[in-house]
Amino acid sequence: MTQSMPLPDPSLTPAVEERGARVSLFRKLLKNPIGLIALIYLALLVLSAIFAPLIAPADPNLASLKDVLLPPGPGHPLGADSAGRDVLSRLLFASRFSIAGALLALVVAAVIGVTAGLIAGYFGGWFDSVSSWLAGLLMALPGIVVLLAARAVLGPSMWLSMAIFGVLLSPAFFRLVYASVSAVRNELYVDAARVSGLSDGRIIGKHILTVVRAPVIIQAAMITGIAIAIQAGLDFLGLGDASIPTWGSMLNDAFSKIYTNPGLMLPPSLAIALTCIALTLLANVMRDELERSASPAKRKKSAKRGSAMAAAEPGEAIVSHPEDARSEARAGEELLRISDLAVGYDQPDGSVKVVVNDVSLTVRRGEVHGLIGESGSGKTQTAWSILRLLPEGGRVVNGSIFFEGKDLANASEKEMTKIRGKKIAYIPQEPMSNLDSSFTIGSQLVEPMRVVLGLSKKDATAKALGLLERVGIPNPKRTFSAYPHEVSGGMAQRVLIAGAISCEPDLLIADEPTTALDVTVQAEVLNLLRELQAELNMGVVLVTHNFGVVADLCDRVSVMRNGRIVETGPVRSIFAHPEHPYTKSLFAAILEEGEARGELVPAANGPASGISAADAPAADAPATGVPATDAPATKQPASNERVGS
């Protein structure tokens, strides 16, 4: 929350804000039904423990032979135990000791863990390494084994056991505080506080403690539950102090009569279970509420992002250019026909946010259809909807996607699995994140070929090696057995291209295939794409924000804006006569950029030279257009993809 905000007065604002957050967290806790019930239960428990001497009907240790194992009745509301002691009285007094013991463990754990975590996280150095190592050491052994060992030498003292258990639990606080403090230590507002002359002590008090307070409170609830459980466990084993009643020792007594009086187990079991559940639920509710109160900022951001996409205003006419001789000559049979496509995302409130609307386009065999537009214009969403691989919550809400006579918009998942890879393939934008880092490059190429084409492992391996060589990888064998993190981005993109063409698809969806690459590599990859497209006579949907790439590769282009196509037609015609104001502004943006870069001007300057770039050596391609639209796309690469999340 406060972490990335530039704060005007670093010494005041976080504390004030945090105090407000804390009050509202408590209020939210009261509004949450689960939180309220847990709080009420715990409050009643603590009150009944405090006032046990007043409420309890009898002395918890008063044994009475005539009352042994008496069922619940007037004298003993919950009956009497194997020594004739009143169960209700014992339960009330046991709460005192069980809670006090757990609180002792909590205090010891919190004092040691928080202090050590603050020092180690804030100052670092040798204390950091020593305490981190010690924390690991303390967590290496099961707590109960250490407690048994301590009991062997120190005798049955609940207080001692719980203090030792507190030490054993301290790493839980240490790690939590350590992680938050070392994350905050280098934040700007802490730097600012340091520069403004605040002492370390005041910085820790004002800035660091406020950050760790909420997580520490949550952790405290969890730790108290664990301490109650282990304390009950020790006493249940009969290792506790026999002179004080605890829930565990009551359970121990009841367990010895489990055959004759199983009902005796109920009161202490319920007390332990309900208390542990209440504490855990309380911690969970607090965590949820904290996350929720931290998310409005996030939500605002994504809403903004979404609105850029969702503003698919109705009505505007699409500028459609007529076919020219060149585009007619290139085109073969029709492969893909998208009509009136709309893509939407289901919102938590049940509405659907439409991010692509009224998109219609066709791709013929051997034809490259460019989809151009700035980030968030819906071009990637359109590409994913063809594959029916939209992120979670996204779906085609209207229109049809006909491919080889089948409407993919309504195809079953099973049918789509058969089409993907074999008929329609996909080249992603970011090479590294699109390879599974846990598998070798070779196995990621071989697996789909075996599944889709039914090849044997040997044949698929041979074919994969051939493909790697075809896409220009110098040492195919080495790359085949390498892991993704062992190759460069350019190599990884070639691997992804090899994977996309491995099953010889009819249609290729390329989503900004060169954006994430170095300028020099971009040219080579574009060349490769052009060659492969011609070789396999594929139809291609090429998503890009770069007019240079369009000029270089595409036969036809559709300009997208706010989820709609605003202008579409043969590349030559659009470059020569851009009609829609948005298309014109895109060209103008290139010109502005071009002037600054001098030599870039000729390539993107006039429509004629733009077209000539298509036939010119591809090395020109990345240089021709680095349009202004590049800037938003590279700054926020994730923004146009992650609408749903």
Partner 1 sequence: MLRFILRRLASGVVLIVVISTVAFALLYVGSGDIARRILGQTATADTVAQKAASLGLNRPLYVQYGDWLSHAVTGNLGISWFTGQPVMAAITSRVAVTLSLVIGATLISAIVAVVLGVWAARRRSWPDRLVQVISVLGFAIPGFLIALGLVLVFAINLHWFKPTGFVQFATSPSGWLASITLPVIALAIGGIAGVTQQIRGSVIDALRQDYVRTLRSRGLSANRVIYKHVLRNAGGPALAVLAVQFVGLLGGAVIVEQIFAIPGLGQVAVTATTQGDVPLVMGLVVVTAIIVVVVNLLIDLLQAFLNPKVRLS
Q: How far is the CB of 642 from partner 1 (least distance, A)?
A: 8
Binding segment (CB under 8 A) for partner 1, from list 309-317, 320-328, 361-369, 496-504: 496-504
Contact at 8 Å (CB) between 455 and 496? no
| Contact between 435 and partner 1 per CB under 8 A | yes
Contact, 471 vs 489, CB < 8 A?
no
Closer residue to partner 1, CB minimum distance, 229 or 338? 229
Beta strands in 446-582 (DSSP E): 507-511, 539-544, 556-561, 564-570
Least Å distance, CB 232 to partner 1, is: 7
Q: Which residues of 572-588 are buried (b: 16+ CB within 10 A; e: fewer)?
A: bbbbeebebebbeebbe
- Of residues 119 and 251, the one with the C-beta less far from partner 1: 251
Residue 404 neighbours by CB under 8 Å, 6+ apart: 335, 423, 506
* Coil/strand/helix, residue 533: helix
Residue with Cβ nearer partner 1 (54 or 153): 153
CB of 440 vs partner 1, minimal distance in Å: 8
Binding to partner 1, residues 401-430 (CB under 8 A):
413, 417-422, 424-426, 428, 430
Q: For partner 1, how many residues bind (rule: CB under 8 A)?
A: 78
- Per-residue binding string, partner 1, 173-212, x by CB under 8 A, is ----------------------------------------
Residues 499-528 that bind partner 1 (CB under 8 A): 499-500, 502-503, 509
Closer to partner 1 by CB, 153 or 195: give it. Answer: 153
Q: How far is the CB of 256 from partner 1 (least distance, A)?
A: 12
Of 208, 387, 538, 550, the one binding partner 1 (CB under 8 A) is 387
- Using CB under 8 A as the binding rule, whether residue 437 contacts partner 1 is answered as yes
Interactions with partner 1, residue window 249-288 (CB under 8 A): 251, 255, 258-259, 262, 265, 269, 272-273, 276-277, 279-281, 284
> With respect to partner 1, which residue has the nearer C-beta, 123 or 439?
439
Query: Per-residue string for binding with partner 1, 285-324, x by CB under 8 A?
Result: ----------------------------------------
What is the closest distance, in whole angstroms, from the C-beta atom of residue 226 to partner 1 in the complex?
9
Q: Are 539 and 508 in contact (CB under 8 A)?
A: yes
Between CA 480 and CA 467 the distance in angstroms is: 10
454 vs 628: CA distance, rounded Å:
46
State in angstroms the smallest separation of the CB of 502 from partner 1. 8
Phi and psi dihedrals of 507, rounded to 5? Answer: -130, 135
CB–CB of 638/376 below 8 Å? no
Beta strand ranges found along 535-608 (DSSP E) = 539-544, 556-561, 564-570
389 binds partner 1 (CB under 8 A): yes
- 237 is an interface residue for partner 1 by CB under 8 A: yes
Smallest gap from residue 306 Cβ to partner 1 (A): 17
Cβ closest to partner 1, residue 627 vs residue 644:
644
Report which residue type is found at 498: A
Q: Which of 43, 111, 149, 519 binds partner 1 (CB under 8 A)?
A: 149
**476-481 long-range contacts, CB within 8 A, separation 24+:** 479/441, 479/442, 480/440, 480/441, 480/442, 480/445, 481/440, 481/441, 481/442
Structure tokens at 114: 């928080």
Q: Is 384 in the site for partner 1 (CB under 8 A)?
A: yes
Our finding on whether 239 is near partner 1 (CB under 8 A) is: yes
Inter-CA distances, 405 with 18, 160, 338, 400, 622, Å: 60, 78, 12, 11, 37
- Given candidates 15, 146, 536, 631, which one binds partner 1 under the rule CB under 8 A? 146
Tokens of 207: 């800035």
**Among 88-96, 224-232, 304-312, 362-370, the segment contacting partner 1 (CB under 8 A):** 224-232
64 Cβ partners below 8 Å, 6+ apart?
80, 84, 85
Q: Are strands 368-372 and 394-403 parallel, antiparallel or unpaired?
A: unpaired
351 burial level (CB within 10 Å; 0-12, 13-18, 19+): exposed
The window from 2-10, 203-211, 232-240, 582-590 that contacts partner 1 (CB under 8 A) reads: 232-240
- Residue 121 Cβ, how far from partner 1 at the closest point, in Å? 21
Handedness of CA 514, 517, 523, 529 (dihedral sign): negative
Distance of CA 232 to the CA centre of its chain: 38
> Of the listed pieces 95-103, 440-448, 460-468, 604-612, which binds partner 1 according to CB under 8 A?
440-448
Among 53, 73, 142, 581, binds partner 1 (CB under 8 A): 142
* Among 65, 145, 317, 329, interactor with partner 1 by CB under 8 A: 145
* One-letter identity of residue 387: L
Q: Are 547 and 625 in contact (CB under 8 A)?
A: yes
Query: Applying CB under 8 A, which part among 93-101, 106-114, 383-391, 468-476 lies near partner 1?
Result: 383-391
CB of 380 to partner 1, least distance (A): 11
